[in-house]
């Protein structure tokens, strides 16, 4: 069975979904692995290294036309779909609700699509959870990039010439990315506080040394899958009042709040941005889904009243070597539940709760 992968058509995307470690395991399981020229260039991997492990380096067209299983980071383009082998298998992160036309074109070619961002939040699926592995790195990188843009030292420094006070970080959203941001900011010596609509986040925030800022609500604001729910108008007003007083005293704000399948909630208003001190930084990890902060734009760093608003796209891709290693392992772990190593063929059990959740086999409307 031939397993292939190509460089992503999005020039911003520097991650790859097959790593040297996973190539060895695929070949040991009976796969023939083929990748495009310069496949691992952005992750510090040379073609010769992959060839020495047994992978073939071919052109993109040949890989699409011959691969039984294609592994990609993002949804293929229309031109790529036209090259794909009828009846092949596609595994990656495709967000069907955002790529309806492409998904439907793939289905017309009888391509079996497995989109791993749809994984259920169960213990058995943790090793395949691409959202968590990549969000973890995004939270780390957001802090590092924010500190780079911040024109002051982060930790407290006591010197003969005087004392430098520690930078104040405020993390909006205490999911995987937010918790890693808290941990990274604390390691750098910052004073960290965080907010989330889920009261259950309090213990996690405080365990990492952060102060939890919370809007009391009589309603349950957490889904059964562990995600945050959208606030109603009453709770939005309460949150806005709390944030107004909190944000104006902060030096660095990291925004990570997302609602699955919906536009990101606007949390930091224009008024809040303008209330911050000149030299402060806002990093908006939700910018590609609409943004948590006013003035954030995908791929840009905007400056408003001296406040920098970072809207970089694809934070995990900014540390592609680490991100690729984790993404590739997530894919390998998923393939192990749909591939029979003894018979060396795919066995797709649609009754398996993981397979059922990620298998996109119906037209998206």
Active site residues: 121, 126, 129, 132, 227
Instruction: Measure the CA–CA gap between 221 and 240, rounded to whole angstroms.
Output: 16
């Amino acid at each position: 069975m031939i397993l292939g992968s190509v460089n992503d058509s999005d020039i911003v995307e520097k991650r790859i979904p097959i790593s040297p470690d996973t190539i060895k395991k695929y070949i040991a399981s009976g796969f023939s692995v083929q990748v495009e020229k310069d496949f691992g260039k952005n992750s510090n991997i040379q073609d010769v290294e992959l060839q020495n492990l047994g992978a073939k380096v071919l052109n993109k067209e040949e890989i699409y036309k011959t691969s039984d299983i294609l592994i990609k980071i993002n949804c293929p383009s229309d031109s790529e779909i036209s090259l794909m082998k009828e009846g092949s298998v596609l595994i990656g992160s495709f967000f069907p609700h955002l790529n309806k036309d492409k998904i439907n074109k793939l289905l017309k070619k009888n391509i079996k699509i497995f989109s791993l961002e749809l994984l259920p939040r169960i213990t058995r699926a943790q090793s395949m959870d691409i959202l968590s592995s990549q969000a973890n790195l995004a939270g780390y990188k957001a802090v590092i990039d924010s500190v780079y843009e911040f024109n002051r030292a982060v930790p407290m420094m006591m010197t003969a010439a005087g004392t430098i006070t520690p930078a104040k970080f405020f993390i909006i959203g205490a999911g995987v990315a937010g918790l890693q941001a808290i941990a990274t900011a604390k390691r750098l010596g910052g004073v960290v506080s965080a907010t989330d609509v889920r009261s259950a986040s309090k213990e996690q925030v405080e365990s990492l040394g952060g102060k939890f800022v919370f809007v009391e609500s009589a309603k349950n604001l957490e889904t059964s899958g562990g995600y945050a729910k959208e606030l109603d108008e009453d709770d939005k007003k309460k949150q806005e009042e709390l944030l107004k007083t909190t944000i104006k005293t902060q030096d660095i704000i990291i925004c990570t709040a997302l609602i699955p399948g919906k536009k990101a909630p606007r949390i930091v208003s224009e008024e809040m941005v303008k209330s911050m001190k000149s030299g402060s930084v806002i990093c908006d990890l939700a910018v590609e889904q609409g943004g948590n902060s006013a003035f954030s734009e995908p791929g840009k760093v905007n400056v408003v009243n001296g406040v920098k608003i970072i809207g970089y796209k694809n934070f995990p891709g900014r540390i592609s070597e680490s991100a690729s290693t984790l993404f590739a392992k997530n894919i390998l772990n998923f393939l192990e539940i749909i591939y029979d190593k003894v018979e060396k063929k795919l066995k797709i059990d649609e009754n398996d709760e993981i397979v059922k959740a990620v298998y996109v086999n119906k037209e998206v409307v």
